[in-house]
């Protein structure tokens, strides 16, 4: 969000695209108004000619009729309630009436879309302004806004779908006096598809599971920790948490959302109620009073009902984000998507504003319960730890060789104190922020200033110079074992993930690299036409009717053809020239899918490896020709 504000500005990023909401209605309004004016003029010219040559009419009657039709053209008479209009409609041809009705209703739909869009912009602005007042108003405005916007957006998609479909009839009919059934069917399918996707997105329940890696600390496992938490809760005038989860993430947080806790054995337990997550690794680094300050900060979120409103708002945001996906995927609903995403972006401003207010309030209460220095020192230590851990993880991840082991926790414990000596000098510490799974925290400088801590470089260095083991860590029985077990599981997952990534980086130059790539992309054989085998490995595809294998680096494009039996036409580039090589496919759809999915997967790996190797030597790498590959039909 901040990047969008700074580089493009909020208007260019969100509001200007949202104006696409009016694109189809305004364009259709001009077109249908023009068609009506042409038809009105044609009718008027014919009517005047008939009236002037009618011998049965007196001159004053002729002038009266001409004045009437000039005042009330067909576009007006078709929807007018005056008795003369009803009489006029009774004598008109049915097809002519249908055409006039369709034009009149199209114009009405255009105006409804335009006026509805203007009203939606106004109501959206009012809702966002109200949401800035308080947490309760924020929830109410989002709740009302979600129900109104999904109704408006759905009706808007239906209306704009009808307009686009009507254009597919009226443009050929008006300009060429024909209509094309295939075009009508095409746009009908597009419109119905967009409407169907959007309606489905309203009722489909999004997956909102929040999984936490950690261990649930019962009172039996950590009686001293629970006792002291109750004392801190009493000081903060709130009830203690229902659950405490101990993990190795680089943050602390509280929530009232249902969470799934997964332990080292991947067993999952769902918790409801008020949960507190504590980082074992950070508790080890935080001296007693600093840990008190951090925990008081988290408990302050309970006392301020912050977690209660987050619990109410989070499901609404999840459903709204899922609805946005439906609008985006609907195709014809894309203009409505840009309007809906603008509201989401505006609401994000409100969420960010009140979130920062909550953080400042929790900081103040924690500082008053301990001291500003304790709170400030804790924030500095947590920020330094997170930064150091992120740098080490990046170092491990960027390595071009597989790790026999990832000794991340050992590196952190052994090097953190030395890192703190240079942390203040090497980083713009004031612009950093502590990590959090739900909220964005204010920059560290603002938080320190808000509690009255003058963050000079010397003061920050002194705050970080402490290597004693935190007292709260010692309040957890078997804390060392709990932390070690979780680090072992995390480091092994990290090692395996890094191996998988290396498979997308390597163009094997030795047996070890080839062995690693083939671990994830082993040689496989599938069935092509007439039960004949087609073989794949990490660098090529082989088929017995070809002169030789096709290497993925040669592939320019691929097209699936079904005219004379299913086949893949592979366009390869050799010796500077393109050549099409055919791969006939099995008649069985599952065998066709196996061949195509394997080719896409193995080709994608090769293209990624080529791009990565180029990036190592080229600061501005260009993708290999095959990276434009797509499966076409």
Q: Over the stretch 120-160, which tens digit does the pLDDT of each residue have?
A: 999 988 998 999 888 889 899 989 988 899 899 999 999 99
- Separation CA 543–CA 584 (nearest Å): 10
Burial class of 510 by CB neighbour count within 10 A (0 to 12, 13 to 18, 19+): exposed
pLDDT score, position 439:
55
| Token pair recorded at residue 310 | 């987050």
| Token pair recorded at residue 99 | 């055409």
Half-sphere exposure of 411 (CA within 13 A, CB side): 13
**CB of 43 closer than 8 Å to CB of 74:** yes
Residue 623 has pLDDT above 80, yes or no: no
pLDDT score, position 440:
61
Burial class of 549 by CB neighbour count within 10 A (0 to 12, 13 to 18, 19+): middle
- Separation CA 486–CA 494 (nearest Å): 12
| Helix (H) / strand (E) containing 542 | strand 540-543
Residue 41 has pLDDT above 90, yes or no: yes
Residue 629 has pLDDT above 80, yes or no: no
pLDDT score, position 311:
85
| Token pair recorded at residue 87 | 């009489």
Question: How far is CA 603 from its chain centroid?
Answer: 27
For 517-632, give the CATH class: mainly beta
Residue 5 has pLDDT above 60, yes or no: no
Question: From residue 438, how far is each of 79, 410, 614 by CA, in Å?
Answer: 54, 29, 38
- Separation CA 604–CA 611 (nearest Å): 11
| Token pair recorded at residue 31 | 């077109």
Mean pLDDT within 224-235: 95
Q: What are phi and psi of 18, to 5 degrees?
A: -65, -25
Q: Where in the chain is the domain with CATH 2.30.29.30?
A: 517-632
| Separation of first and last alpha carbons in the chain | 38
Beta bridge partners of 271: 259
Residue 219 has pLDDT above 90, yes or no: yes
pLDDT tens-digit series, residues 496-532: 999 999 999 999 999 999 999 999 999 999 999 999 9
pLDDT tens-digit series, residues 116-127: 999 999 998 899
Mean pLDDT within 413-437: 72
How wide is the angle at C-alpha 143 spanned by C-alphas 139 and 147, nearest 5°?
A: 170
11 falls in which pLDDT band (50, 70, 90)?
confident
Residues 6 or more apart whose CB falls under 8 angstroms from that of 50 comprise: none
Q: What share of the chain is helix, strand, coil (3-state, %, to 5)?
A: 65, 10, 25
**CB of 375 closer than 8 Å to CB of 367:** yes
Average pLDDT, the chain: 88
Residue 551 has pLDDT above 90, yes or no: yes
pLDDT score, position 393:
95
**CB of 567 closer than 8 Å to CB of 582:** yes
**CB of 486 closer than 8 Å to CB of 469:** no
- What is the pTM assigned to this prediction? 0.79
């Amino acid at each position: 969000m901040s990047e969008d504000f700074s580089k493009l500005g909020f208007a260019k990023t969100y509001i200007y695209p949202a104006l696409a909401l009016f694109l189809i209605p305004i364009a259709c309004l001009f077109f249908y108004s023009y068609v009506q004016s042409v038809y009105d003029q044609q009718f008027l010219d014919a009517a005047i000619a008939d009236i002037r040559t009618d011998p049965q009419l007196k001159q004053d009657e002729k002038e009266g009729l001409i004045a009437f039709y000039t005042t009330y053209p067909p576009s007006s008479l078709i929807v007018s309630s005056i008795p003369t209009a009803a009489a006029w409609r009774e004598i008109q041809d049915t097809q002519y009436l249908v055409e006039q009705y369709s034009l009149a209703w199209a114009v009405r739909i255009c105006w409804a879309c335009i006026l509805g869009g203007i009203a939606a912009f106004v109501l959206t602005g009012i809702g966002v302004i109200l949401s800035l007042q308080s947490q309760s108003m924020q929830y109410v405005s989002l709740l009302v806004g979600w129900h109104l916007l999904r109704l408006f957006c759905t009706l808007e998609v239906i209306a704009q779908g009808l307009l686009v479909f009507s254009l597919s009839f009226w443009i050929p009919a008006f300009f060429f006096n024909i209509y094309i059934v295939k075009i009508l069917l095409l746009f009908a399918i597009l419109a119905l598809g967009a409407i169907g996707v959007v309606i489905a997105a309203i009722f489909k329940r999004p997956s909102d599971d929040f999984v936490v890696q950690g261990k649930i600390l019962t009172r039996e496992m950590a009686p001293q920790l629970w006792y002291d938490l109750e004392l801190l809760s009493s000081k903060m005038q709130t009830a203690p948490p229902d659950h405490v989860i101990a993990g190795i993430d680089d943050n602390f947080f509280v929530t009232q959302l249902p969470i799934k806790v997964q332990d080292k054995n991947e067993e999952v337990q769902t918790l409801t109620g008020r949960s507190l997550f504590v980082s074992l690794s950070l508790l080890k680094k935080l001296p007693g009073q600093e840990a008190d300050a951090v925990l008081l900060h988290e408990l302050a979120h309970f006392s301020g009902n912050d977690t209660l409103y987050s619990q109410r708002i989070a499901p609404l945001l999840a459903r709204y984000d899922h609805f946005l996906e439906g609008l985006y995927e609907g195709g014809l609903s894309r203009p409505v998507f840009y309007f809906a995403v603008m509201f989401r972006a505006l609401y994000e401003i409100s969420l960010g504003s009140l979130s920062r207010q909550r953080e400042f309030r929790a900081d103040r209460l924690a500082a008053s319960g301990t001291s500003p220095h304790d709170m400030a020192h804790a924030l500095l230590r947590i920020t330094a730890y997170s930064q150091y851990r992120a740098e080490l993880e990046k170092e491990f991840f960027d390595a071009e060789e597989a790790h026999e082991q990832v000794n991340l926790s050992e590196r952190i414990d052994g090097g953190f104190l030395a890192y703190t000596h240079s942390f203040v000098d090497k980083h713009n510490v004031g612009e950093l922020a502590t990590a959090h799974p739900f909220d964005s925290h204010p920059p560290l400088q603002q938080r320190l200033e808000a509690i009255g801590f003058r963050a000079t470089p010397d003061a920050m260095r002194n705050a970080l110079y402490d290597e004693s083991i935190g007292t709260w860590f010692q309040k957890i029985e078997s804390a060392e074992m709990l932390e070690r077990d979780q680090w072992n599981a995390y480091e092994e997952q990290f090692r395996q993930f890094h191996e998988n990534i290396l498979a997308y980086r390597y163009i094997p130059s030795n047996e070890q690299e080839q062995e690693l790539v083939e671990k994830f992309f082993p040689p496989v054989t599938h069935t092509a036409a007439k039960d004949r085998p087609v073989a794949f490995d990490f660098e090529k595809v082989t088929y017995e009717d070809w002169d030789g294998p096709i290497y993925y680096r040669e592939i320019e494009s691929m097209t699936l053809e079904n005219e004379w039996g299913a086949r893949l036409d592979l366009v390869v580039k050799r010796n500077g020239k393109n050549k099409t090589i055919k791969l006939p496919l099995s008649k069985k759809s599952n065998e066709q899918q196996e061949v195509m999915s394997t080719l896409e997967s193995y080709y994608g790996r090769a293209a990624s490896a080529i791009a990565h190797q180029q990036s190592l030597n080229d600061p501005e790498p260009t993708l290999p020709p095959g990276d434009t590959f797509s499966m076409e039909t």
